[in-house]
Chain A
Amino acid sequence: MQKKRKTVEYGKYGYIFLVPFFLVFLIFQLYPLLYTFYISFFKQVQLGHGRKAVTEMVPGLGNYTDYVFGSLGGGEVFNAIIVTIVMWLLNFVPQILLSLLLAGWFTDAFNKLRGEGAYKVIMYMPNIITAATIAVLFYSFFDVNGSITGLLKSVGILNDNSDILKSGYASLFIIAFIQFWMWYGNTMIVLIAGIMGISPSLYEAAMVDGATPTQQFWLITMPLLKPILQFTLVTSAIGGLQMYDIPQLFNKGGPVVKWGANSVNSTQTIIMLVKSYIDAGPKQDYGRAAAYSVILFIITLAISMIFFLATSEKKSKSSGVG
């Protein structure tokens, strides 16, 4: 006689566990996202101010034609996006190179480093300090009477009269450096985790075949790291495009530089620009801020797509094993 085994169905509780996430996502992320799209199609036309303000929300593509692509907005969106992307590139390229190098060193099976754990902790530390503190700290370093300025002046790189923070390019570079310094430890840890996932037998086989460490790196590590690299690239790009705290606290949009006939705020990222239109005051214009946010969304989407496609694994059509 066969006893019927009672199978316990836990599957549906899995869905219940997912409910909180979906609730939060729907209310606090999806709805505002859709609403932002919605209000970006209403242009605010205001006559007068304060109590005497006569405000009209004109439906249509006004925000896009006038502010984003038109001359009324002074091209500020695209200036801000270029500043943001340049800032991110200056930060990310050195960051990924250094992290790959360090990850390679730390996971090298034949290179026993002493105090490896201590190195990892020290390199990760900058990520733990609050961005606000770091921005203020670096500002005081580079202030006219600051320590690093004094150092550079005594070595002779700067002449006595210069003021680094008044140079747009220097400020941009310093902010990119702060970001790099804060995040390279994090990227390194992620890459180490990725490399640890590669089977050591591959390296042993390669060594037996006489591959040099460089060849091992480029032919074994890099291809197998693609999923991790993809993750790092995309998350870094999204985070970089949304950079706000450090530039805001460092130089508040920074000194103005001239590109051709345009005056550009050299350290104003796109999020800072959007925020300036959200704050209460005479400048408040939700439609415009929403339109700028939509442009940011489109650009983020485009960049992420490019990265996904560039690092995707080509699924080999296995036609069976003989």
Chain B
Amino acid sequence: MKKRLLALSMAMIMVAGTLTACTPEQAPAEGGEEATEAPAEGGETATEAPADGGEAATEAPAVQDAATMEAPSTEGWDESKKIYAYSWNDEFGSRLQMVLDEYPEYADYVEFINLGVSGTDGTYQTAIETAMTSGDKYPSLVPADNDVAKNFTEGVDFMPVSEVGITPEMYANAYQYTVDYATVDGELMAVTWQATPGCLIYRTDIAEEVLGTSDPAEVQEAVKDWDAFFATADKMKEAGYKMVSGPDEVKYAMWDQQTQPWVTENADGSESLTLDSAVTDYLETAKKLYDGDYTDKSSMWSDGWNANYEGKVFCYFGCTWSVYWCISTSPDSATSTYGKFHICQGPVSYHWGGTYVCVGKDTPNPELCGFLLYELCCDKDMMYKISAETADFVNNKAAMEQIAADGVIADPAAVLGGQNPVEIWLQSAPGIDLSNATYMDSAIKAIIDKASEGYNSGTYATADDAIQFIKDEVASGYTNITVE
């Protein structure tokens, strides 16, 4: 009898054991795939946004008294009012934390979840969509990497920011391109706290040795267009230095020169692939850099690329967040190049990336979402503080002009050896134009990367073969797009 009972109870325990897995799953914290290790490995083909840098769009001047938003009271809030903010790395979380430090009464109602993947990875969007369908830890604040932002803003999961209380008057100090980029069918779907004009980050010691000067204005003369850039590259080669770390370094600068969207919508609702000369120009320039031995042949974000910040490479193409996220050297490393970097405009005006924060449409606490986004992206004082502490170039003309006027150089910008980068960025930010961006840009850029690799290594004999490869890949992978 005892044995029978024992056997029966063991069987029951086993059955019960299988059902324990039926608890609601947490949102997958993907540590595995492309786990961000050092901050220098921020993301693979990280953030990008195509734009026509040439036009000086008429940018509205800074508004000194933008509309404000009242802080919502926490009266009557309970567990159900808690919101979850997701991201693919910890940048958004740390910015949000700065807002919560100012308003600690909301700290219990916000939880940040870092998924630890690359921003342009499909895994991120899959994880967000899964969390939204399951309803557990519903993503209320969802930042989207610039390249894939249109997948989010043009999708069905998010609501216009006007529905959480953000008005155009509050967002009046934002750079126009950030407003245009995130506006879909007349509604603003996402806001961003950072503007990201691109620049050229160069080594002052190498500049002094080869060009004789490290003054930004004079180095700018030496790289003011692509011809001058390659002339300087020749000088660097003679002196035993590499101009850039890898042939793919110039991609964001060149892709930004596109003159038409790469996917156009036709009258009947179908879409066609319409690549332009920016793609061919990039393929040819990368090939020239590769063949001419001006590079160390590293891939962006690889170990070799990181190591070259302390190596024999003259310059990197970067942007505002490169300063605190990419330049991987520190004062105490053995071959430190800390303080030996300056920035200048570079051969073309462009920009690189950004993060657009969307609001989930079924969020349990729209007031808190609205207020946090207001503080992060609209409030001049909060954004001034963020820029002063982190060297981020915030999306607030009034705040950045104040930073420039006050001569504030944030600690992370000390790697620039005393130069204040804000002035350079203030000049180029108004010229950014994202009107040619489409939702397919991230996917097409990944394919262009592969094509460029193939063209450089000789798999494709001509640039036309490489372009044909791009067209074939788009045609076979994305059947809603017609390719002629």
Does B23 count as interface, using CB distance less than 8 angstroms?
Answer: no
Residue of B296, B297, B439, B479 touching A50 (CB-CB under 8 A): B439
- In the bound complex, do residue A279 and residue B122 qualify as a contact, i.e. CB atoms below 8 Å apart? yes
Complex interface: stretch among A69-77, A106-114, A202-210, A310-318: A69-77
Does B298 count as interface, using CB distance less than 8 angstroms?
Answer: yes
Interface size on A, residues (CB 8 A): 50
Does A144 count as interface, using CB distance less than 8 angstroms?
Answer: yes
A50 to B271 CA separation, bound complex (whole angstroms): 13
A72: chain B residues within 8 A (beta carbon)? 475-476, 479
Residue of B14, B156, B293, B477 touching A51 (CB-CB under 8 A): B156
- In the bound complex, do residue B271 and residue A257 qualify as a contact, i.e. CB atoms below 8 Å apart? no
Does A283 count as interface, using CB distance less than 8 angstroms?
Answer: yes
Residue of B nearest to A256 (CB): B454
Complex interface: stretch among A14-22, A34-42, A84-92, A232-240: A14-22
Q: A74-B472, A255-B459, A256-B453 are in contact. Are A280 and B14 (CB under 8 A)?
A: no
- In the bound complex, do residue A143 and residue B457 qualify as a contact, i.e. CB atoms below 8 Å apart? no
A47 to B8 CA separation, bound complex (whole angstroms): 58
A281 to B480 CA separation, bound complex (whole angstroms): 13
Q: A52-B269, A144-B296, A256-B450 are in contact. Are A167 and B457 (CB under 8 A)?
A: yes
- In the bound complex, do residue A258 and residue B155 qualify as a contact, i.e. CB atoms below 8 Å apart? no
Within 8 A of B (CB), among A254-277: 255-258, 263, 265, 276
Interface size on B, residues (CB 8 A): 58
Within 8 A of A (CB), among B99-144: 121-123, 125-126, 128-129
- In the bound complex, do residue B457 and residue A258 qualify as a contact, i.e. CB atoms below 8 Å apart? no
A167 to B457 CA separation, bound complex (whole angstroms): 8
A166 to B150 CA separation, bound complex (whole angstroms): 31
Within 8 A of B (CB), among A47-87: 47-52, 54, 72-74, 76
- In the bound complex, do residue B457 and residue A13 qualify as a contact, i.e. CB atoms below 8 Å apart? no
Does A305 count as interface, using CB distance less than 8 angstroms?
Answer: no
Within 8 A of B (CB), among A90-144: 132, 140, 143-144
Residue of A16, A46, A263, A276 touching B479 (CB-CB under 8 A): A46
- In the bound complex, do residue A144 and residue B297 qualify as a contact, i.e. CB atoms below 8 Å apart? yes
- In the bound complex, do residue A144 and residue B269 qualify as a contact, i.e. CB atoms below 8 Å apart? no
Within 8 A of B (CB), among A287-305: none
- In the bound complex, do residue A48 and residue B469 qualify as a contact, i.e. CB atoms below 8 Å apart? no
- In the bound complex, do residue B129 and residue A283 qualify as a contact, i.e. CB atoms below 8 Å apart? no
A-B contact pairs, 16 of them (CB 8 A): A8-B4, A13-B8, A16-B15, A48-B271, A50-B151, A50-B439, A145-B298, A145-B303, A163-B457, A256-B469, A258-B460, A263-B473, A279-B121, A280-B125, A280-B129, A282-B151
A: residues with CB less than 8 A from B are 8, 10, 13, 16-17, 19-20, 23-24, 45-52, 54, 72-74, 76, 132, 140, 143-146, 161, 163, 166-168, 248-249, 255-258, 263, 265, 276, 278-285
7 shortest A-B CB distances, which residue pairs?
A279-B122, A50-B154, A74-B476, A280-B125, A16-B11, A280-B126, A46-B480
New A-B contacts (19) at CB < 8 Å, excluding given A45-B479, A256-B450, A284-B122: A10-B3, A10-B7, A17-B14, A49-B439, A50-B151, A52-B269, A72-B475, A132-B32, A163-B297, A166-B456, A166-B457, A256-B451, A263-B454, A263-B472, A279-B121, A279-B125, A280-B122, A281-B443, A282-B440
